[in-house]
Structure 1
């Protein structure tokens, strides 16, 4: 009898312990949240969505999927019933989409609100209100997949046409024409450089000696009368302006550089004109050199001209001017 009493006591203790554990589990897992029932109806597939799937409002878990079945009100649609915490501020502009968690393929209901309406959605568990279920991004991609494939096919055909043999030949010919045009431009540049070197550079080279001779001539005329001195000063001023920075000589050099940079604007008729200008400039310089040599040899020519010099008193050939008769 004593052993049986111990066995009964042990059994009663085990049963009491199990009951206490169950009570604790129920206590800790109890949910006092009040949830309202809402319905979703869609014609799109709800693959991956299972009962007890999470319902999220802007990323926050607010409920569960209660059931998934066919919609008795709309033939061919799927009806999804969800339970949502009554504290969630659902309005008449709230909508739901089917989203997926990572790469697992498990789906959940995501609820969002555009904010277009401030009218609260009135719950009714006997006749639950419906929240629009919009197509997900994956569903939209599936719907537009055929159109996208057709567009890709059309683009591929156009690319094949563009890269056909005839077009490739045209592109090669165009590149060849561009290369020939570049070679012609380079040849024109070299011709222009040679013209400048052979035409203008010798002309410019003759100017410094001419300037030096002109300076010597001016030095010899400083002892002449006031008019000759004024002419010499003016001539010196002209020489200084020629040699000044940004003066005619510098501008002529800059013009030569500009000619080398303006190759694209020259044509076949420009080079002969440049040659003629160079020849005229050379002739003008030679004439100016001869004039300077004449002035250097005969400075009096600036005052008395190029004719013979009249003999002065005591010189051979001098004749006294006639004396006018005296008046009565």
Structure 2
């Protein structure tokens, strides 16, 4: 009877242990909570990321990693299948990055949302929604470190080429010349000290000279105004001279006509003078006409004067 009790206790303990292990396995697999599946698409390495690694949204645990595999269409792309608790705000603008758990070297998925696309990302078991996986901070530092090392090596080579023996000799000579030039500059500064001390008096004299220049400038302004007035008057005189020249040319052109008119007038005056003289000598000519002229020698009716006989 006692052996049966022990056997029953051992069997009961074994059953409870199996149930506990089964619950732990279900808990580890995350099957106790309804979840939505998403695919993280990464083109960079996912070092330290394992199955069942935590998935966090801004630091809050929202799921676990279910599977990690390469894409069948592009071997450079890594697809990470994650399960996220239902009701988790996964939007189209959500992105993923790897974060690290202390110094263990293990990593987890950190989700974040930049707010650029607030629409909810649809997902179903047959076509899970895809989330971009960006390089982590350490990846960025590593790539930047490689570029920095490459640039540092290139700078070291250029510096080594710059600091060869010939350039060092030239640099030493340049420093020596600079030292000599500095000494000469100090001597020149010492020589300039008296001139600098005399500058205040020179400045005062310059101010007085400027005060004298102001009235001179005013006189020059008035003189300039007067000269401008005289120039305007000369312009008017020049215009008048031009008009006079044009008038003289017109008179010169009219002189021949005037001369002909005067000749005609002179001939008319002589003719009128003769007519008046005839009228004065023979007034009856106005009524009876002009008497014929006496016959001349050899003409009929010519009578010689008595003295000629």
2:174 is aligned to: 170
Change (3 A) 1:173 1:264: farther
- The match for 2:189 is 185
What is residue 244 of structure 2 aligned with on the other side?
Answer: none
Question: For residue 7 of structure 2, what is the aligned residue in structure 1?
Answer: 11
Once the two structures are TM-superposed, the CA of residue 42 in structure 1 deviates from its matched residue by: 2.2
Q: Secondary structure at the match of 1:130?
A: strand
CA distance in 2, matches of 1:25, 1:78: 32
Q: 1:153 to 1:171 in 2, by over 3 A?
A: farther
Cα offset for 1:105? 1.7
Normalising by structure 2, report the TM-score: 0.53
Residues 263/103 of structure 1: CA separation in 2 closer, same or farther (3 Å cut): farther
Q: Is the 8 A contact 1:39 1:82 kept in 2?
A: yes
Larger radius of gyration: 2
SS at match of 2:56: strand
C-alpha change, 1:264 and 1:87, in structure 2 (3 Å) is farther
Q: Which residue pairs with 1:137 in the alignment?
A: 137
Q: How many angstroms apart in 1 are the aligned matches of 2:197 and 2:136?
A: 64
Q: Deviations over 1:35-67 (max 9, x none)?
A: 111112223222211111111111222111111
TM value normalised by structure 1 = 0.50
Task: Give 3-state SS (helix, strand or coil) of 1:15's partner.
Answer: helix
Instruction: Name the counterpart of 1:314.
Output: none
User: Could you say if the C-alpha distance between residues 102 and 179 of structure 1 is closer, same or farther in structure 2, counting changes exceeding 3 Å?
Assistant: farther
| Alignment-derived partner of residue 219 in structure 2 | none
- Evaluate the alpha carbon distance shift between residue 73 and residue 173 of structure 1 in structure 2; reply closer, same or farther with a 3 A threshold: same
SS of residue in 1 equivalent to 2:130: coil
Q: Deviations over 1:151-188 (max 9, x none)?
A: 22343345446654123432342244224322443465
Q: In structure 1, what is the Cα distance between the partners aligned to 2:114 and 2:197? A: 65
Residue 67 of structure 1 is matched in structure 2 by: 67
Distance 1:44 1:24, change over 3 A: closer
The alpha-carbon distance between structure 1 residues 265 and 54, as it changes in their structure 2 partners (threshold 3 A), is: farther
Give the root-mean-square deviation of aligned CA atoms.
3.3
1:148 aligned residue: 148
The answer to whether residue 119 in structure 2 is matched with residue 119 in structure 1 is yes
- 1:41 is aligned to 41
Determine the C-alpha separation between the residues in 2 that align with 1:42 and 1:13.
53
Partner of 1:107: 107
- How far is 1:87 from its partner? 2.4
**Which residue does 2:261 correspond to in 1?**
none
Structure-2 change in CA distance of 1:264 and 1:21 (3 Å): farther
**Distance in 1, Cα, partners of 2:47 & 2:159:** 38
The answer to whether residue 85 in structure 2 is matched with residue 85 in structure 1 is yes
Structure 2: gaps of 5 or more residues: 203-309
CA shift in 2, pair 1:263/1:39, >3 Å: farther
